[in-house]
C-alpha cells in the first residue's frame, strides 16, 4: 500500500526533534495506537454487518456498545488501547486478540534475554530501562515456562540412525529441593552427524553416575532411533564403558586425553609440571599403540618413585586411552579430546553463573535448552577436516556406514 508524500508531509509538519517521532508519546506510537483502534473498529463493522450510524443496523438485535480499555506491552513500551465491544458480547477482535496483553515478538524478546543468562529481576530492569515497560518476575517466569513443553518434545524427538562420533560430558548446577540445596549433574550427549555437523542429542539430570544410569541414557538414544555409534568420547565417566558394551557393543570408547593429562598433572608440583607433561605427550603422540606402551614404560621408570599414581591411573584406563591410536590422523584429530562438547559446556556455564541456585530441575533444564537453541544456530558448517575423517570412517567401518544421499 502506497503512502503518498502529501500524507508524510502532513504527519511530519510539527516534527522538530527525534522525540517527536520516536519518544514515548511520539508520532509512531500515536499512529500505531490510532491504526490499531481503527482496524478493530473495522473488524466490529464486519462482525455486525453494518457501519457506525448506519440505519441498516436498527432492530438487528446487536449494536456497538462503547469500548473497553486495554494495555498492551511491547518493545515500544506500554500502549493504552480502546477496544470496541458489541452489546451481545460476541465480538472478538483478531488484530489484538481477546486476552492478549503483549505484542507479538515481545515474549520472544523476554525468552532471548533469559537464554543469555539474565535473571528474571535483570530482565525486569532491562525492559524498564530500555523500553519503559514494567513487567513482573512472575510474568517472565510465565513466558519462559511456556517452553517446558518444547523441551519435552525436543528430548523425545527421533534421532538419526548412525552417529560416527558422540561426545558425553556433564556440568554441575545447584538446585533447591525440599528446602535444601543440592548439586546435580546435567549430562549432555553431543553427536556428530554423517554430514559432520554437531547436534545435541539430549540432556539428562542425575545426582550420581554409574553403569545403571548410563545404560538408561544409551537405551533412550537407541529407542529414539540410533542404531549405531562408531566411537563414544567421554571424560572418564564412571560406568560408561560397561553400559556402552551392553547397549552398543560394537561402539569403541575413547577417554579424553586432555582431561587425563590435567588429572595427572594435579599430582605434580609446579616446578616439574612442564617436564612431566612433556613425557606424557610422548605417550599420546606415539604413532602406534606399541610405541605408546614403550613410552609409558619409560615414564614409569622416570617418575614412578615420585608420582606412582599417574602411571597407575593410565594403566587402569589404558585400553580406552589409546583406542584412537588404532586410527589414522584424520580420525585421531576428531576423537582424542572432548573439546567439542567442552566448548558447549563453557557457554552454558557462562549463562548460568549468575543464577546461583535454581528453584527446581525444570528451571535448570529450561535455561540450558534455550541456550542450546541459540548456540546451535551457529552450527551451520561441518567440523574441521570432516571430509577427510569421513573417508577414513568409510574404510574403517565400511560395513556399518549408511548409504549417503
Residues 36 and 185 in one domain: no
- Where helices occur in 205-256 by DSSP H, the ranges are 211-223, 240-247
Same domain, 235 and 322: yes
Do 83 and 182 reside in the same domain of the chain?
no
Report the distance separating Cα 34 and Cα 73, nearest Å: 16
Output the pLDDT for position 117: 66
The mean pLDDT of 170-191, rounded to a whole number, is 85
Examine the fold and report which residue of 96, 112, 130 is the final residue of a domain before the chain moves on. Answer: 96
- Residue 102: DSSP 8-state: B
Percent of the chain with pLDDT over 90: 24
Nearest of 343, 268, 250 to residue 313 by alpha carbon? 268
Q: Kindly state whether residue 370 falls inside one of the protein's structural domains.
A: yes
Is it the case that residue 228 has pLDDT exceeding 90?
A: yes
Total tally of structural domains belonging to the chain: 2
Inform me whether the pLDDT recorded for 180 exceeds 70: yes
Question: Is residue 379 scored above 70 in pLDDT?
Answer: yes
Domain that holds residue 38: 1-96
Q: What is the per-residue DSSP string for 123-167? A: HHHHHHHHH-----HHHHHHHHHTTHHHHHHHHT----SEEEEEE
Cβ atoms of 95 and 36 closer than 8 Å = yes
Q: Residues 42, 169: one domain?
A: no
- Given a contact cutoff of 8 angstroms between Cβ atoms, the answer to whether 117 and 374 are in contact is no
- Which of helix, strand or coil describes residue 180? strand
Q: What is the pLDDT of residue 190?
A: 92
What's the pLDDT score for residue 280? 95
Residue range 348-374: mean pLDDT, rounded:
81
Q: How far apart are CA 124 and CA 116, in angstroms?
A: 14
Residue after which a domain boundary falls, among 55, 71, 96: 96
- Cell 456498545 belongs to 65
Q: Which of 38-52, 100-114, 218-232 has the lowest mean pLDDT?
A: 100-114
pLDDT mean across residues, the chain: 82
**Within this chain, do residues 196 and 62 fall inside the same structural domain, yes or no?**
no
The helix (H) or strand (E) run that includes residue 177 is strand 162-177
**pLDDT value of position 18:** 72
User: Which one, of 161, 192, 191, lies nearest residue 383 by Cα?
Assistant: 192
Final residue of a structural domain among 48, 72, 96: 96
**For 293-308, what is each residue's pLDDT tens digit?**
999 999 999 999 999 9
Residue 60 maps to a domain: yes
Q: Which long-range contacts (CB under 8 A, 24 or more apart) does 344-349 make?
A: 344/188, 344/190, 344/200, 344/372, 344/375, 345/169, 345/171, 345/188, 347/371, 347/375, 348/171, 348/372, 349/171
Q: Are residues 388 and 278 in the same domain?
A: yes
Query: For the segment 121-162, what is each residue's pLDDT rounded down to a tens digit?
Result: 777 776 666 556 677 777 777 777 767 778 888 999 999 999
The answer to whether position 108 is within a domain reads no
Q: Is the same domain home to 248 and 361?
A: yes
Amino acid at each position: 500500500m502506497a503512502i503518498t508524500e502529501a500524507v508524510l508531509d502532513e504527519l511530519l509538519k510539527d516534527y522538530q526533534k527525534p522525540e517527536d517521532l520516536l519518544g514515548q508519546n511520539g508520532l509512531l506510537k500515536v499512529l500505531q495506537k490510532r491504526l490499531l483502534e481503527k482496524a478493530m473498529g473495522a473488524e466490529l463493522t464486519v462482525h455486525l454487518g453494518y457501519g457506525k450510524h448506519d440505519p441498516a443496523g436498527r432492530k438487528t438485535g446487536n449494536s456497538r456498545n462503547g469500548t473497553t480499555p486495554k494495555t498492551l506491552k511491547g518493545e515500544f513500551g506500554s500502549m493504552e488501547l480502546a477496544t470496541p465491544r458489541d452489546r451481545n458480547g460476541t465480538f472478538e477482535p483478531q488484530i489484538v486478540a481477546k486476552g492478549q496483553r503483549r505484542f507479538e515478538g515481545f515474549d520472544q524478546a523476554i525468552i532471548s534475554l533469559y537464554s543469555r543468562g539474565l535473571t528474571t529481576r535483570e530482565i525486569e530492569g532491562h525492559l524498564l530501562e530500555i523500553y519503559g515497560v514494567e513487567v513482573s518476575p512472575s510474568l517472565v517466569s510465565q513466558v519462559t515456562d511456556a517452553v517446558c513443553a518444547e523441551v519435552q518434545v525436543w528430548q523425545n524427538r527421533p534421532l538419526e540412525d548412525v552417529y560416527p562420533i558422540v561426545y558425553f560430558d556433564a556440568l554441575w548446577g545447584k538446585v533447591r529441593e525440599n528446602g535444601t540445596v543440592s548439586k546435580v549433574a546435567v549430562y549432555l550427549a553431543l553427536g556428530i552427524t554423517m554430514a559432520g555437523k554437531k547436534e545435541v542429542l539430549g540432556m539428562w539430570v542425575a545426582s550420581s553416575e554409574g553403569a545403571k544410569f548410563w545404560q538408561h541414557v544409551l537405551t533412550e538414544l537407541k529407542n529414539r532411533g540410533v542404531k549405531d555409534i562408531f566411537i563414544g568420547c567421554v571424560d572418564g565417566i564412571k560406568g560408561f564403558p560397561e553400559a556402552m558394551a551392553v547397549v552398543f557393543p560394537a561402539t569403541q570408547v575413547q577417554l579424553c586425553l586432555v582431561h587425563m593429562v590435567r588429572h595427572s598433572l594435579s599430582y605434580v608440583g609446579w616446578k616439574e609440571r612442564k617436564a612431566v607433561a612433556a613425557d606424557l605427550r610422548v605417550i599420546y603422540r606415539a604413532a602406534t599403540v606399541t610405541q605408546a606402551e614403550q613410552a609409558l614404560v619409560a615414564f614409569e621408570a622416570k617418575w614412578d618413585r615420585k608420582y606412582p599414581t599417574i602411571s597407575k591411573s593410565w594403566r587402569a584406563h589404558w585400553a580406552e586411552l589409546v583406542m584412537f591410536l588404532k586410527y589414522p590422523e584424520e580420525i585421531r584429530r576428531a576423537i582424542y579430546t572432548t573439546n567439542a562438547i567442552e566448548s558447549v559446556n563453557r557457554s552454558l556455564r557462562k549463562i548460568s553463573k549468575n543464577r546461583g541456585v535454581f528453584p527446581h530441575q525444570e528451571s535448570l533444564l529450561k535455561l540450558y535448552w534455550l541456550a542450546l537453541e541459540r548456540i546451535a544456530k551457529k552450527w551451520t558448517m561441518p567440523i574441521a577436516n570432516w571430509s577427510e575423517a569421513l573417508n577414513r570412517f568409510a574404510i574403517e567401518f565400511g560395513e556399518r556406514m549408511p548409504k549417503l544421499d
